[in-house]
Amino acid sequence: MRDWEHARLDELTTDIFGFNATQIGVPQIQALRANRMPHTWTTIASMPSSDHDNEAHPLVVVQQFDELPFASASIDLIVLPHVLEFAQQPHQILREVERVLIPEGQLIICGFNPISLWGARHALSRLSESDFLPQGGELISLPRLKDWLKFLNMEVDDGCFGCFAPPCESEKWLHRFAFMEQLGDKWWPFFGGVYVAHAIKRVRGMHLVGPALRSKKATAPQGVPATNKIHQRRK
C-alpha cells in the first residue's frame, strides 16, 4: 500500500510549484519527497524521537490538527495521508486546511475506501475484535469526501484507486492475488482498498491574468489632412 501511494504522490507533487508545502500526519509516508518547493515540512501531533534529524526532515509539532499554527493563505500545497478517517473532527481539519491554503492552492488526500475488500475486512474486524486497520475511526468514501470539499469551494478530480488484492497478511497470498491489481484498475476501478484525491482551492471572483500588454501609442498621421488639401486647391 505504501509503495503504491508513494508512486501516486510522486506523480502528483512533482509538478506542483510554489514556496511552502506541508504534510499533515503519518510521517511514515514521505508524501513530499518528489516535490521541489524550497520550504517543505511535516506537521505531526507527537514529539519525534531524540535522534530525529530536523534539518534533513523538518517537523512542526502541534497539539491538534484542527488548529494549525499557520497564517491564513500562506501554504501552496498540503497533503493529508490517512488523517481524516481517524480524526475526531475531520470537518474542522478541512476548514483549517482551506484557511491556510492560498487561492488556487492544492490539496492531496489519501484515504481507505470503505467500498472495497479492505473496507469489508475493517468492518468485520469490529465484530471479531481482530484489528486490521487502526480502530476508532470511520472510513470516508470518495463521493462523501467530494461533497465535503465542494462545500469549501474546493474543486476535486475523480481520484485514483489502488490495492485491489484482498487484505492478506501473508506475503505468499499477496503474490498469488497480484493479478487483481491490473484487472481491478481496468474492470472495477472504484473498488480499490485505498484512494488518492486531488483538490484545488477556488476563490470566487478571482482570475489569473498574464502580464499587461502595453497599448500602442497613437502615431501622427502621414501627409497633409484632407481638409487642408481642399483648402489649398480653392486658393
- pLDDT tens string, the chain, 235 residues long: the values are 899 999 999 999 999 999 999 999 999 899 999 999 999 999 998 877 766 667 767 888 898 899 999 999 999 999 999 999 989 899 999 999 999 999 999 999 999 999 998 888 888 776 766 667 777 778 999 999 999 999 999 999 878 999 888 877 777 777 777 777 777 777 778 889 999 999 999 987 655 555 544 444 444 344 444 444 444 444 4
Q: Can you point out the beta strands (E) in 58-185? A: 59-61, 75-81, 101-112, 154-156, 160-162
Q: Which residue has the cell 517543505?
A: 40
What pLDDT score was predicted for residue 218? 41
What pLDDT score was predicted for residue 130? 67
What pLDDT score was predicted for residue 179? 76
What pLDDT score was predicted for residue 80? 97
Q: Which residue has the cell 506541508?
A: 22
What pLDDT score was predicted for residue 217? 44
Q: Which residue has the cell 481520484?
A: 159
Q: Which residue has the cell 481491478?
A: 184
Buried b (16+ CB within 10 A) or exposed e, 195-229: bbbbbbbeeeeeeeeeeeeeeeeeeeeeeeeeeee
Measured CA to CA, the distance from residue 129 to residue 34 in angstroms comes to 38
Measured CA to CA, the distance from residue 86 to residue 165 in angstroms comes to 23
What pLDDT score was predicted for residue 164? 85
Q: Find, among 199, 111, 121, the residue nearest to 162 by Cα.
A: 111
What's the predicted TM-score (pTM) here? Answer: 0.81
Q: Find, among 39, 41, 78, the residue nearest to 57 by Cα.
A: 41
Measured CA to CA, the distance from residue 91 to residue 93 in angstroms comes to 5
What pLDDT score was predicted for residue 226? 41
What pLDDT score was predicted for residue 208? 55
Q: What are phi and psi of 176, to 5 degrees?
A: -65, -35
Measured CA to CA, the distance from residue 210 to residue 19 in angstroms comes to 20
